Structure 1
């Protein structure tokens, strides 16, 4: 598995991952009705941010990440990131590789910390991965995410210093 910058040519493989994750409606508060051009505008970061892909040895994109400053101005010393993994690649270390690489990128860019603003509390695989990578839940906004099968669930704010 190789992590590299996302290129324009990767979008044809990133889009199905994005669409699958968003259509499931259980981890991201993105609109499943977004067409590919709107999704691309939301997902592909402009500098100083970055979008990356996790690519198998055969060139197949298995996951993607976006990262950048959490807030502008006085909040720009804290990074944020989001991750999506193809359904058929879950449980194979793709998410971990993307997250570790995003943390390394943030350190290289001089960020002091990384914060995730909206981790769905029922996304236990992601919550546990982030905890293993040193993040802590610093708060949970109750009933702020409409899960398709569980109803209203909380969103964790997770943080770690770099």
Structure 2
């Protein structure tokens, strides 16, 4: 059974093991592929981020952060980033984390969730977010340079909470 809990500094090694291959691949996040461990974990645990891990039998299978998307007049909309360990893909980890994040966001007083930059070639994520009632509300043409597919679109996805 998947358990989602707040992350602590004790989870940094497990989180880095999930982040590193995704960041190195350069296919879904707008971060340098040569990002260091310290830079990557500082990004994930940035001030204002609430970080969670999804674990099964004590093994971390995924992680996500939840934060306000904007400040001031836009602070009622949140943003999240999700990552699942490669060996756990296809097991519902991302879906469970997204549902958990939506619940956490509601409890924190957010009224909507927005994903600012979903790479269009990340078809599994796009399909998953759409199944959870996220709509594509914007398309940024050729906004992402994919390492093997060249310039591809990025999507802005939004869901009321």
After TM superposition, is the score higher than 0.5? yes
**SS in structure 1 of the partner of residue 154 of structure 2:** strand
Aligned to 2:62: 63
Which 10-residue stretch deviates more, 29-38 or 11-20? 29-38
What is the Cα deviation at residue 46 of structure 1?
A: 3.2
Tell me the TM-score normalised to structure 1 length.
Answer: 0.96
What is the Cα deviation at residue 45 of structure 1?
A: 3.9
Q: Deviations over 1:40-65 (max 9, x none)?
A: 11001434x311001011x1111100
**SS in structure 2 of the partner of residue 26 of structure 1:** coil
Aligned length: 160
Tell me the TM-score normalised to structure 2 length.
Answer: 0.97
What is the Cα deviation at residue 74 of structure 1?
A: 1.1
Aligned 1:95-106 pairs, distance under 5 A:
95-106=94-105
Give the distance between the partners of 2:35 and 2:98, measured in 1 at CA: 25
- Does residue 123 in structure 1 map to residue 101 in structure 2? no
What is the Cα deviation at residue 33 of structure 1?
A: 1.4
**Structure 2: unaligned runs, 5 residues or longer:** none
Q: Deviations over 1:91-124 (max 9, x none)?
A: 0001001111110000001111000000001101
What do you get for the CA RMSD once the two structures are aligned? 0.9
Give the distance between the partners of 1:133 and 1:64, measured in 2 at CA: 18
